[in-house]
Amino acid sequence: MITSRGAMILGTGHALPERILTNSDLEKIVDTSDQWIVERTGIRQRHVVTPGTPLSELVIRAAERALADAGVNAADIDLIVLGSVTGDMKFPATACLVQEAIGAKHAAAFDLSAACSGFLYSYQVASALLATGNFKHALVLGGDVLTSMVDWSDRDTCVLFGDGAGAAVLAPSDGKRGLIYGCMHSNGAHAKLLYNPGGGSLHPPTHESIDAKQHAIRMEGREVFRHAVTSMAEALQEVLQKSSLTLNEIDLLIPHQANLRIIEALGKRFAISSDKVFINVDRLGNTSAGSIPIALDEALKSGRIVPGSTVAMVTFGAGFTWAAAAIRF
Ligand code: UT7
């Protein structure tokens, strides 16, 4: 019998902007085609904010939905961890804005920067803090407004990303439900294969930095693709091995939703049947740290995860960072 020692999920929620940008909309602003985007990425549309909409708007909505789903009062949340790289401001942490907005008066709050791995990193950090006994309920959030740093004239990147956020309310495991095993990894040697150089202390904002488009996402897509498949496969293998789970015992795999071809390559390596793999990249594009918690909430609400389900999640993002987890519901 597998035991869960890490934090369990009491409730989830997510939030997406209403505005939808289709591939044919993109055809009008950049030299691309619906056919190329669908064939190379599987993406058909993405939700995008009205420019100037802050991340906190999405994250607060997701958090409120997760709290209602869990039946937990904001006043009983004592820890908020937000995985994101597109906070409202350089500081303070957007998690503090969430803390105030939802009325989590007793919560410590901080942001965690791990790009697309933000939610699985935050989950594991919150789980470890809950295990100290000093915290009773954690709100773990993942979300990004990557369109705020997209160069809309760069067809290599602008077709890939969407905006969105997800949330989960965590409590210490009851021994049956919760995190069975999780892993987190990084390799900064590849920092410049996927990054946003401008706006930090290295390149503070100047007219020159804007002209040089240093505030936009830069990515070597093919290299990132290769590393994503290899690293996610290794992390998933590690989780299966360390938790003594076979692939047959996994009811649903939730991979990071960056590119359908990456997901299919991962599925092929593990010979996992496609009905066990959750996919929403076609509707949402890559929502970065929002990807896993949005998918998780959709899977729960649509009944693809039920009490007793064992779910594996795996992700990869800038840093490079990557992470995986097996969770019993
Ligand atoms: O969240 C984690 C981080 N992100 C990822 O995991 C993304 C990983 N990478 C990818 O998903 C893929 O590498 C991309 C979707 C970004 C690109 O797909 P690819 O199959 O690796 O294409 P490519 O970069 O090798 O480009 C192939 C061709 C190039 O033209 P030439 O040089 O062969 O003439 C590109 O210029 O496709 C061209 N191209 C496009 N054509 C139409 C690149 N972007 C576009 C576009 N529309 N949007």
Q: What one-letter code names the amino acid at 271?
A: A
Percentage of the chain exceeding pLDDT 70: 99
CA atoms within 13 A on the CB side of 101: 16
Which pair of tokens denotes residue 288? 């970065």
Mean pLDDT across the chain: 97
Burial class (CB in 10 A: 0-12, 13-18, 19+), 159: buried
Q: Which pLDDT belongs to residue 5?
A: 84
Pocket test for ligand 1, best of 43, 225, 256, 281 (most atoms within 8 A of CB): 225
- Give me the phi and psi of 213, to 5 degrees please: 55, 35
Across the range 250-279, mean pLDDT stands at: 97
| pLDDT mean over 295-302 | 98
Residue 47 CA, distance from chain mean position: 15
Q: Mean pLDDT across the stretch 38-53?
A: 98
Using most ligand atoms within 8 A of CB, pick from 27, 156, 195, 287 the residue to mutate for ligand 1. Answer: 156
- Cβ-contact 247, 276 below 8 angstroms: no
| Cα 260 to Cα 264: distance, rounded to the nearest angstrom | 6
- Tell me the mean pLDDT in the region 287-291: 98
Q: Among 230, 262, 146, 159, which residue's Cα sits nearest to residue 195?
A: 146
pLDDT in tens, 111-120: 999 999 999 9
Q: How far apart are CA 206 and CA 118, in angstroms?
A: 28
CA distance 42 to 210: 31
178: left (phi over 0), alpha (psi -120 to 50) or beta: left
Is 90 exceeded by the pLDDT of residue 3? no
pLDDT score of 129: 97
CB-ligand 1 contact for 230 (6 Å cutoff): no
State whether the beta carbon of 36 lies less than 6 angstroms from ligand 1: yes
227 annotated active-site = no
286 is catalytic: yes
Please check whether residue 95 is in contact with residue 83, taking contact to mean a CB–CB distance below 8 angstroms.
no
pLDDT higher than 70, residue 2: no
Active site residue 96: no
- Distance (Å, whole) CA 219 – CA 14: 27
Q: Atom of ligand 1 at shortest distance to CA of 156?
A: 44
What is the arithmetic mean of pLDDT over 307-318? 98
Given 23, 47, 116, 137, the catalytic residue: 116
Check whether 1 has a pLDDT greater than 90.
no
Checking if the pLDDT of 124 tops 80, the result is yes
Of the candidates 287, 304, 288, the one whose C-alpha atom is nearest the C-alpha of residue 296 is 304
**Could you read off the pLDDT of 138-173 as tens digits, one per residue?**
999 999 999 999 999 999 999 999 999 999 999 999
**pLDDT in the model for residue 269:** 95
Task: Supply angle C-alpha 147, 151, 156, rounded to 5.
Answer: 100
Judged against a pLDDT cut of 70, whether residue 59 lies above it is answered with yes
pLDDT (mean) for 67-71: 98
Atom of ligand 1 nearest to the CA of 259: 11
Tens of pLDDT along 178-236? Answer: 999 999 999 999 999 999 999 999 999 999 999 999 999 999 999 999 999 999 999 99
pLDDT value at 58 more than 80: yes
**Straight-line distance from the first to the last Cα atom of the chain, in angstroms, rounded to the nearest whole number:** 14
Structure confidence at residue 101 as a pLDDT band (50, 70, 90): very high
Domains of the chain (ranges; CATH) run 8-175 (3.40.47.10), 180-328 (3.40.47.10)
> Which atom of ligand 1 has the smallest separation from the CA of 261?
11
Residue-wise pLDDT for 21-43, tens only, equals 999 999 999 999 999 999 999 99
Catalytic residue among 23, 137, 256, 259: 256
Ligand 1 contacts CB of residue 157 (under 6 A): no
- Decide whether any atom of ligand 1 lies within 6 Å of the 115 Cβ: no
